Structure 1
Amino acid sequence: MNSYWILLPAIIVALIAVPLVSVARGAKTGKHARNRIIGNLCMFFGVCLCAVLFPVGALAAEGGVVASIVGTSAQGMGFLAAALVTGLAAIGAGIAVAAAAPAAIGAVSEDPKSFGKAIIFVVLGEGIAIYGLLISILIINKL
């Protein structure tokens, strides 16, 4: 066994967990919050650097564990399209719900009988994400 198998995951877990120390201590505002953001950014780029310098795929290929992945560029573009459809639909649904839910809460607080009408607008926003997921499933089925 190569020592990278033990060291690399330990380094990555440590880089991800270090910024959480200030969260566990309860630092929420001021200088601690700024240090926490800077720490998160540094640890993120540290994990990215570890992924570039020590590719795990190369380590797994040495042991003969990973088989080669064969596909066409059209399949790759299809998977990217499916990911974009799902992601952008979820963002759109989030924006729609962010606008509709507070308005629905305000309407229900003034008139409790308007709950049924108000909840329909919130559900319509959520439908956008479901449509995006459906389209991505159809794209992946064609690949």
Structure 2
Amino acid sequence: MNIFELLLFPLLAVILLTVPVIAIIRNRKGGKIAKRAFLFNLCGFFAVLALAIILPVGGFISADAVETAENAVNSSAGLGYIAAALSTGLGSIGCGIAVGSAAPAAIGAVAEEPKSFSKSLIFVALGEGVALYGFLISFIILNSL
């Protein structure tokens, strides 16, 4: 590997990512400079993406690394772990959103009328059920791997 591959590619990527930030700092109102910098960053992103695709195909990496990567791509266990993580994570985020909006309303309803405690508890528990369902689905996915 030469110095161009080791140092200049990452340096170019960092420069392309910081161009819009510098343009926005220089021109607080946005305008043409910020739009031009954003387009330049977008073009740079696709250029780096193309290089990431072209360099491994062009023979710049060893054959052992290619075989290892092919074995990893052919394995479906990784996708199963990602699915389990997504089901737990997104279920927990949904639970947080549901309980975050239902719990204050339930507390306010109970403060005004104490008889509504059981009804408000049901609404809060329904929001928490979303996280439990996501957790259960992740266990089912992990057991099938």
- Please tell me the root mean square deviation across aligned C-alpha atoms, in Å: 4.5
Q: Matches of 2:135 and 2:129 in 1, distance apart?
A: 10
TM-fit CA distance, 1:84: 2.5
For the 8 Å contact 1:104–1:119, the answer to whether it is kept is yes
TM-fit CA distance, 1:106: 2.2
Provide the aligned length of Structure 1 versus Structure 2: 134
3-state secondary structure, aligned to 1:54: helix
Identity %: 20
In the TM superposition, 1:1-143 aligns within 5 A as 1-3=1-3, 4-21=5-22, 35=35, 41-55=42-56, 59=60, 61=62, 68-69=67-68, 71=71, 76-111=75-110, 117=121, 120-135=125-140, 137-138=142-143, 142=145
For residues 37-57 of structure 1, give each alpha carbon's deviation from its aligned partner in whole angstroms, at most 9, with x where no partner exists.
76665454343223123349x
Q: Matches of 1:25 and 1:133 in 2, distance apart?
A: 48
TM-score by length of 2: 0.54
Q: Matches of 2:27 and 2:97 in 1, distance apart?
A: 28
Q: Please, which runs of 5 or more residues in structure 1 have no aligned partner?
A: none
Q: Please, which runs of 5 or more residues in structure 2 have no aligned partner?
A: none
Q: Matches of 1:111 and 1:30 in 2, distance apart?
A: 49
For residues 90-114 of structure 1, give each alpha carbon's deviation from its aligned partner in whole angstroms, at most 9, with x where no partner exists.
3344334333421222222443686
TM-score by length of 1: 0.54
